């Protein structure tokens, strides 16, 4: 039957940790400790990648690379990458328990998807040891997908490689990539979905791409919220998303729409081309 069989969700910024603040704050801190002041925007730009790859991506940014060379008199090395990561991992582990709250509406959306017979997988930029903390905290608060794959299970080939999605498909016995939806909150999530050949969906509110905490978002005026939502939506579409949704609460209805498209023979990528034509 031509219909969606499974949904694969990102974790921080999509299912838990509104705004994806746990890793961002630590990235800023470890660079500051190394004498390099980075912005929140720079710390967020590679979000969704395996965290050591994220550090490498930050060091490769022209402004940060120049600051590093000015301070240390040389280009950064792999030794520097690993030294920063050695500071990052324990700092993140120490704070992760504070960032496991499910984003509002997520638990109800997952219940609705399961009631429709869908399986729930998940991928992440966190390592398995980090996810041991996150999954326990989220489970205690009512959120637990059917399966989790971390980059540890794919030879450290995290996003944007598609392998974590494929491992989910194998475990959950999903029959075809075009019968799978991937939802996430970063450009890396969107690229992971595209490269896996699944339907790739950007979740706007609470996303790392939007970059606002729950409190900051709640303080926005109606006009400011609309602007932040539209800016984030356009960023996802520019990165190739098939669709965007404001929150995961909209996902069950969107899957109904995708099922109608599948019945007509449409496949991932076709909806995105129509939407980007409007930008």
80 is an annotated ligand-binding site residue? no
10 belongs to an annotated ligand binding site: yes
Q: Are 255 and 187 in contact (CB under 8 A)?
A: no
Of 219, 190, 180, the closest CA to residue 10 belongs to 190
Residue 254 makes CB contacts below 8 A (sequence gap 6+) with: 201, 243, 245
Tokens 């694969």, residue?
8
Are the CB atoms for 84 and 91 separated by under 8 Å?
no
Active site residues: 10, 51
Annotated ligand binding at 185? The verdict is yes
Which residues does 206 contact at the CB level (< 8 Å), separation at least 6? 13, 14, 18, 19, 103, 185, 214, 217, 247
**Token pair in block for residue 255:** 């899957």
Report the candidate in 26, 13, 19 with the shortest Cα–Cα distance to residue 88: 26
DSSP letter, residue 197: T
How many CB atoms neighbour CB 227 within 10 A?
A: 12
DSSP H helices, 176-242, are 187-196, 214-219, 222-238
Annotated binding site for Mg(2+): 10, 12, 185
Known binding residues are: 10, 12, 185
């Amino acid at each position: 039957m031509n219909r969606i069989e499974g949904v694969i969700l990102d974790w921080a910024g999509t299912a838990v940790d509104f705004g994806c603040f746990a890793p961002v704050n630590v990235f800023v801190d470890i660079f500051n400790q190394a004498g390099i002041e980075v912005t929140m925007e720079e710390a967020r730009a590679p979000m969704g990648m395996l965290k050591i790859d994220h550090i490498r991506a930050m060091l490769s940014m022209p402004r940060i690379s120049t600051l590093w060379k000015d301070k240390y008199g040389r280009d950064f090395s792999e030794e520097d990458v690993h030294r920063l990561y050695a500071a990052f991992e324990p700092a993140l582990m120490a704070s992760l328990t504070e960032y496991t709250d499910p984003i509002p509406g997520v638990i109800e959306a997952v219940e609705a998807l399961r009631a429709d017979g869908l399986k729930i997988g998940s991928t992440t930029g966190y390592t398995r040891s980090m996810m041991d903390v996150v999954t326990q905290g989220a489970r205690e608060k009512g959120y637990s997908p059917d399966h989790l794959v971390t980059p540890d299970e794919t030879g450290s080939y995290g996003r944007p490689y598609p392998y974590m999605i494929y491992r989910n498909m194998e475990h959950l016995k999903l029959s075809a990539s075009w019968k799978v939806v991937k939802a996430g909150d970063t450009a890396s999530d969107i690229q992971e979905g595209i490269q896996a050949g699944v339907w790739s969906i950007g979740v706007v509110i609470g996303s790392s791409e939007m970059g606002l905490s729950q409190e900051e978002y709640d303080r926005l005026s109606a006009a400011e919220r609309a602007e932040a939502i539209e800016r984030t939506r356009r960023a996802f579409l520019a990165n190739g998303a098939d669709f965007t949704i404001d929150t995961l609460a909209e996902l069950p209805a969107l899957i109904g729409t995708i099922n109608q498209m599948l019945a007509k023979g449409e496949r991932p990528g076709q909806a995105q081309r129509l939407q980007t034509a409007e930008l």
